[in-house]
Amino acid sequence: MRTLQLLAINIVLATFLSFTITGASAQQPPSQSAASVAAAQQQVRDAEASRLKAFLDHDVKTMAALLADEMILVTSNGTARNKTQFMDDFVNRPTAFSEFVTDDMEVLVFGDVAITRGRYHNLVAQRSYAAPLKYALFLRVWVKRNGSWQLLSHQATAANQSTK
């Protein structure tokens, strides 16, 4: 039940922030300069790239460090997992992606919170069900703690190839 409550809170937070700030990427809180926002956006892009590399390389240590303890991840098939559940799956059942590409990504930064949203596709090398090529839209919430960005929430939605 707690996982569902956290999931609901994260989805509501991410959705609220996303809709509230749509088109506001050029605006910063008064305390943030354009240079500091640009630097934070690059840090979040780097964290996204590190997470994807850790995922593909099965780098357990890096993956664990990039995930907030209260992280909730919802896959494109609707499976929800907290950090402990995700890491258990990650450690015990490595994925067999032959390709995982972020097709486009927007990064919105608001102090120590960032939202990434965009589109990706992946190709599963060994899959016994459905088509191995999958397209999805994503919305992720990142938080900056002790100088590092950590993933707080990930929501993926299956999409067709032409969905933008």
The pTM for the full model equals 0.78
pLDDT tens series, the chain, 164 aa: 444 444 444 444 444 444 444 444 444 455 678 999 999 999 999 999 999 999 888 899 999 999 999 999 999 889 999 999 999 999 987 667 778 889 999 999 999 999 999 999 988 776 555 567 889 999 999 999 999 999 999 999 999 887 66
Strand segments (E) across the chain: 67-74, 80-82, 97-110, 113-124, 133-145, 148-159
Residue 16 and residue 119: Cα distance in Å, rounded? 19
Q: Which residues of 46-71 are buried (b: 16+ CB within 10 A; e: fewer)?
A: ebbebbbebbeeebeeebeebbbeeb
Judge whether 121 and 103 are in contact, CB under 8 Å: yes
Judge whether 80 and 72 are in contact, CB under 8 Å: yes
> Judging by DSSP bridges, how do beta strands 133-145 and 113-124 pair with one another?
antiparallel
* Predicted pLDDT of residue 129: 55
Judge whether 16 and 24 are in contact, CB under 8 Å: no
Q: What is the CATH number of domain 2-23+34-159?
A: 3.10.450.50
* Predicted pLDDT of residue 24: 45
